[in-house]
Amino acid sequence: MAKGLFGPDTVTWHLHADPAMWVAGVCGLYLQSLHPKAVAAVVQNSRFREDPLGRLRRTGDFVGVTTYGTREAAEAAARRVRQVHRRLSAVDPRTGEDIRLDDPGLLLWVHCAEVHSFADVVGRAGLPLTGAQVDRYFDEQRRVAALVGLDPEAVPGSRREMADYFVRVRPELARTEDSEVVYRFLHLPFDQWWLLGVDLGYLPLGHLAYSAQPRWAHEVHRHPAYPRLATAAGLFSFRTAALALPAAVRWRYPTGHVYRAVERLGTGAFPSPAALARL
């Protein structure tokens, strides 16, 4: 039996299978865009505007393989990420200084913005998570942080450590021209006229993901969000509707990592809120 970084005995295994992760992932991208150097590196190196679905799928695939794949597959995916980070560079548009994509400070920001968004949004959408389970989740995610080049001991491993990290980093965050590029893209990702209907249909969901950020992030972005109660209702409704889809659809598409893990480990490995409650 090929083991991975995680298994059914981890919070990560069950949290990452929740359908609210789709909103949580987009929310994390909004949050990540508030770091001027991190977002400059993305805008200068990524083809997300030309290939929006491909960019989102690759991000989701990395989360999927590091969660449900074998250790070898997770390490291979992380190795490719490290190679890309070493090869690419960017320029800080504010200072003209070079930006290293493998800078530990930037990697830490991307990691924390992502995993905080995952836990916070999925929990608010309705997955029953205790405070202790969120602490455990942040601690588990140090394993992925180590794979992309971070010292796991320097990565927040609890709610308190995560909150302290955001307090420390907030003076570095700002609304920039690049963050505005990401804001507009995540609201209307398709710029072809014949996809206008898809864009307009997606717009409320894109703004729901924006609104799911912490309040202090909205203050930095300086764009209005849905009221907090409306955001909570939207997250709950999205999750409820997604859970109505057959598991074969939710877990087999678009990447199928959950089903491959179950084929490897047995049907007892299916993620579920009931199994999560027993942890």
Domain boundaries, the chain: 11-277
Least confident stretch, 123-132, 179-188, 252-261, 270-279? 252-261
- Average pLDDT of the residues in 112-141: 98
Cβ atoms 41, 88 nearer than 8 A: yes
Of all residues in the chain, the percent with pLDDT exceeding 70 is: 91
- In one-letter notation, the amino acid at residue 42 is V
Q: Report the pLDDT averaged over residues 230-249.
A: 92
Both tokens of 85, joined, read: 């980070």
Structure confidence by residue, pLDDT tens digits, 79-91: 998 998 888 888 9
Phi-psi domain of 26 (left: phi exceeds 0; alpha: psi -120 through 50; beta: other): alpha
Q: What is the pLDDT of residue 246?
A: 83
Q: According to the per-residue pLDDT averaged within each range, which of 35-49, 57-71, 130-144, 250-264 is highest?
A: 130-144
Please compute the mean of the pLDDT values over residues 205-210 and round it to a whole number: 95
Per-residue pLDDT, averaged over 113-141, amounts to: 98
Please report which confidence band the pLDDT of residue 195 belongs to, taking 50, 70 and 90 as the band edges: very low
Average confidence (pLDDT) over 35-51? 83
* pLDDT the model gives residue 53: 61
| Amino acid in the structure at residue 208 | L
Mean pLDDT of 110-116: 98
Q: Is the pTM of this model over 0.85?
A: yes
What does the alpha-carbon distance between residue 103 and residue 194 come to, in Å, rounded to a whole number? 40
How many other C-beta atoms are found inside a 10 Å radius of the C-beta of residue 37? 23
CA 49/CA 54 separation, integer angstroms: 10
Please give the Cα distance from 218 to 238 (Å, whole number).
Answer: 21
Q: Are 98 and 89 in contact (CB under 8 A)?
A: yes
The pLDDT, as a whole number, for residue 228 is 96
Higher pLDDT, 185 or 58: 185
> Phi/psi class of residue 264: alpha, beta or left (left: φ > 0; alpha: ψ in -120 to 50)?
alpha
18, with CB counted inside 10 A (0-12, 13-18, 19+), is buried
